[in-house]
Amino acid sequence: MAYDDEHLPNRSVKVDESSRVGDPPGPSAPAGRAAGSPPLLEITGMSKWFPGNLALDDVSLSVGAGEILALVGQNGSGKSTLIKVLAGFHDADGGDISVTLSDGEVYEGAKARPHLHFIHQDLGLVPTLSMIENLDLDRKSSWRDLLPSRTSDEVAAAQELLREFGTMFDVRAPIASLAPAERTIVAIVRAITGWTDPNSVLVLDEPTSSLNRTEVDRLFRAVRAVAARGAAIIFVSHRLDEVMDLADRVVVLRDGRKVADVERGGFDHDDLVRMIAGRELANFQHEAHAQDEAVPLIEIRGLRGHTVEDLTVGLRAGEVVGLGGLLGSGRDDVARLIYGGLPREQGEILIEGRVVTPKGPREAIAAGMGLVPADRAADGLVMTMTVAENLVLPHMSRLRTPAGNIKVSREKAETAKWIASTELRPQRAAAVVRLLSGGNQQKVVLAKWLRAEPKLLLLEEPTQGVDIGAKTMIYELIASAAQSGAAVLVSSSDAKELVQICDRVLVFRDGVVAASLSGAQLTEANIIQQSLRVFTPALDKGEADAG
């Protein structure tokens, strides 16, 4: 068992207490963090081979009790593989895992697993069961299982747990009917309840990808509370702000190797980006391409349906308009209402002064629209098909020969062009989409619609779960679509993203536009402030939808 001394966390855990607003009171350094004692979780020399690919290359890291370690890296850097090895989905091809409890007892390899708790990206909940039923799944079986469940007690207990998170929803409703944020909270509640020993390891894999800022804060309070009880936390995230906010220490993986292990205070945002990407990222600079016209290219009049109460807006050619606001504020339904993917109660859509108001996606596409949906796996891509097949799915008839078959040479030429211009990896038209990383999958969805040269490009959460390298590329692609004369409508929960790429942002609150921000007004703070001004928790809104 050899490890580099620099990886020992106990030497210099610097915790800037002043920045940790909302921390629960309590000892800042629990017993396990006393100098000299071994770290709670220790991974040494972990390697993992996949056919033709060394996914993990001799990675060693350790987390002390009460410490929050952030694990960052691009998609495909080995983060997920490391988590999967820890969880026992994959067997490592070398390396050890050991857990040392506060009483000095050491558990190695598979015996360490009971002390590791995971919240995976897909949350691991049974969507058809309710929260209390999901919580019940983890309980140890006993003779009591034969007795009827004491539902009222369970409901009360579950509600109590939710209250700790400062939220409330119907704990008897199926998970599938909850908002994504609520599901995440259920998963976290499930992971941290029933710990007999506070000296456990909690691994959170991208827990915040569907949460907005308020909910993220709630989650972080909970995570810090768990750490304060003496748990070791491993936190995987693409959102560097969150990492800066939460982590005591950051481990950066790149191409399966650990490239950095830095303490809080020893890095800033730019350092992180450099370490993750292995290069300085060209900072994305938005340029306005909006053209001055008397008649806007796109007009949306009195749009109503689902969570949207009323939206009237005009978009000029080359303009990138953002949609901000909380989950359920209406922001997240606009794109589909315009596209005809959700039923519209009212409203009309005009392109170049002509009423189109599509009844469904087919008409929307014919009218010159394209939609990049938030959930690329469920709505954006046919995962079993190849990059080329996905790219040409809309407007396939353009590739048809008189004999009715697809002109292969033309398909190849068109797809090759987009594969090159999006810097897709691998650069193969025949690669099955499922095997691509999240960022590259997103490039395929985007390229699919850019190929169609839409007049109106609708995007939902365009960079969700996407690594920072792909993010910049996606921003560039959006800008190039605007430059070539399309109107772009972007819905995002990431206020910084909206500020970075939009000319104008419409902030939604309770189904209507609460503010239209542009120019100097367009700041991250303003978007957040406008979306929260009259405090309407997103969760309550989501519950109303579910009911």
Partner 1 sequence: MPVDEPTHAATEVDEVPVERVEHVDQDPFEAEGEPSAARRVLSALSAGNISAIYVFVLLVVIFSIWVPDTFLTTETFKSLLDQQALPALVALALVVPLAAGVFDLSIGAAVGLGAILIAWLIQIKGVALVPALAISVVGAGLVGAVNGVLVTRMKIDSFIATLGTASIIAAMTFWISDQQILGLPSNLESIAATKLFGFTLPVYYVLVVTIVMWYVLERTPVGRRVYATGGNVDAARLSGVSTRTVVFVSFVICSTLAGIVGVLITARLGTGDPTVGPPYLLPAFTAAFLGATQFRGGRFNVWGTVLAVYVLAVGVKGLQLGGAPIWIPDLFNGTALILAVALAQYQRGATGSSHVNRLIARFKRQPDPEPTEV
Token pair listed for 227? 């750490």
Q: Can residue 373 be called a binding residue for partner 1 (CB under 8 A)?
A: yes
Prior bond to 25 cis, omega within 30? no
> At its nearest, how many Å lie between partner 1 and the CB of residue 364?
8
Burial class (CB in 10 A: 0-12, 13-18, 19+), 378: exposed
Find the binding residues for partner 1 in span 346-365 (CB under 8 A).
359-362, 364-365
> At its nearest, how many Å lie between partner 1 and the CB of residue 432?
5
Nearer to partner 1, 55 or 246 (CB): 55
Angle (CA) 314-319-322 rounded to 5° is 80
Site string for partner 1, 54-93 (x = CB under 8 A): -x--------------------x-----------------
**Beta bridge partners of residue 12, listed in sequence order:** none
> At its nearest, how many Å lie between partner 1 and the CB of residue 329?
20
Q: Which of the ranges 1-9, 140-148, 224-232, 404-412 carries the binding residues for partner 1, by CB under 8 A?
A: 404-412
Question: In this structure, what is the dihedral angle of CA atoms 18, 19, 22, 26, given to the nearest 10 degrees?
Answer: -50
Q: Are 442 and 318 in contact (CB under 8 A)?
A: no
Distance CA 131, CA 178 (A): 10
> At its nearest, how many Å lie between partner 1 and the CB of residue 336?
8
Find the binding residues for partner 1 in span 526-545 (CB under 8 A).
none
Under 8 Å CB-to-CB from 338, ≥6 apart: which residues?
300, 303, 349, 364, 369, 456, 458, 489
Q: Go through the chain and tell me how many residues it has.
A: 547
| List 29, 173, 225, 393, residue binding partner 1 (CB under 8 A) | 393
Find the binding residues for partner 1 in span 285-314 (CB under 8 A).
285
Distance CA 43, CA 64 (A): 12
| List 195, 496, 518, 545, residue binding partner 1 (CB under 8 A) | 496
Q: Are 461 and 429 in contact (CB under 8 A)?
A: no
Nearer to partner 1, 22 or 426 (CB): 426
Q: Which of the ranges 185-193, 196-204, 384-392, 533-541 carries the binding residues for partner 1, by CB under 8 A?
A: 384-392
Nearer to partner 1, 454 or 511 (CB): 454
Distance CA 159, CA 148 (A): 20
Distance CA 405, CA 402 (A): 8
Distance CA 308, CA 310 (A): 6
| List 397, 402, 409, 535, residue binding partner 1 (CB under 8 A) | 397
Q: Which of the ranges 109-117, 214-222, 268-276, 479-487 carries the binding residues for partner 1, by CB under 8 A?
A: 268-276
Q: Indicate the residue type of 527.
A: I
End-to-end alpha carbon distance in the chain: 55
| List 231, 338, 356, 392, residue binding partner 1 (CB under 8 A) | 392
Nearer to partner 1, 102 or 500 (CB): 500
Distance CA 231, CA 116 (A): 10
| List 217, 229, 428, 453, residue binding partner 1 (CB under 8 A) | 428
Q: Which of the ranges 95-103, 186-194, 308-316, 401-409 carries the binding residues for partner 1, by CB under 8 A?
A: 401-409
The number of CA neighbours under 13 Å toward the Cβ of 463 is: 23
Number of amino acids touching partner 1 (CB under 8 A): 72
Find the binding residues for partner 1 in span 133-192 (CB under 8 A).
none
Q: Can residue 282 be called a binding residue for partner 1 (CB under 8 A)?
A: yes
Under 8 Å CB-to-CB from 26, ≥6 apart: which residues?
228
Q: Which of the ranges 199-207, 226-234, 258-266, 394-402 carries the binding residues for partner 1, by CB under 8 A?
A: 394-402
Measured over the CA atoms of residue 124, residue 130, residue 131 and residue 137, the dihedral's sign is negative
Q: Are 391 and 448 in contact (CB under 8 A)?
A: yes
Q: Can residue 36 be called a binding residue for partner 1 (CB under 8 A)?
A: no
Q: Which of the ranges 28-36, 225-233, 485-493, 522-530 carries the binding residues for partner 1, by CB under 8 A?
A: 522-530
Q: Which of the ranges 30-38, 139-147, 422-430, 485-493 carries the binding residues for partner 1, by CB under 8 A?
A: 422-430
How many other C-beta atoms lie within 10 A of the C-beta of residue 184?
24
Find the binding residues for partner 1 in span 184-243 (CB under 8 A).
none
| List 183, 331, 344, 509, residue binding partner 1 (CB under 8 A) | 344
Q: Which of the ranges 103-111, 133-141, 183-191, 496-504 carries the binding residues for partner 1, by CB under 8 A?
A: 496-504
Distance CA 160, CA 142 (A): 24
> At its nearest, how many Å lie between partner 1 and the CB of residue 404?
5
Nearer to partner 1, 31 or 176 (CB): 176
| List 270, 293, 346, 529, residue binding partner 1 (CB under 8 A) | 270
* Three-state helix/strand/coil letters over 74-132: CCCCCHHHHHHHHHCCCCCCCCEEEEECCCCCEEEHHHHHHHEEEECCCCCCCCCCEHH
Find the binding residues for partner 1 in span 436-465 (CB under 8 A).
436, 448
Q: Can residue 246 be called a binding residue for partner 1 (CB under 8 A)?
A: no
Question: In this structure, what is the dihedral angle of CA atoms 156, 160, 162, 167, given to the nearest 10 degrees?
Answer: 100
| List 341, 347, 511, 537, residue binding partner 1 (CB under 8 A) | 341
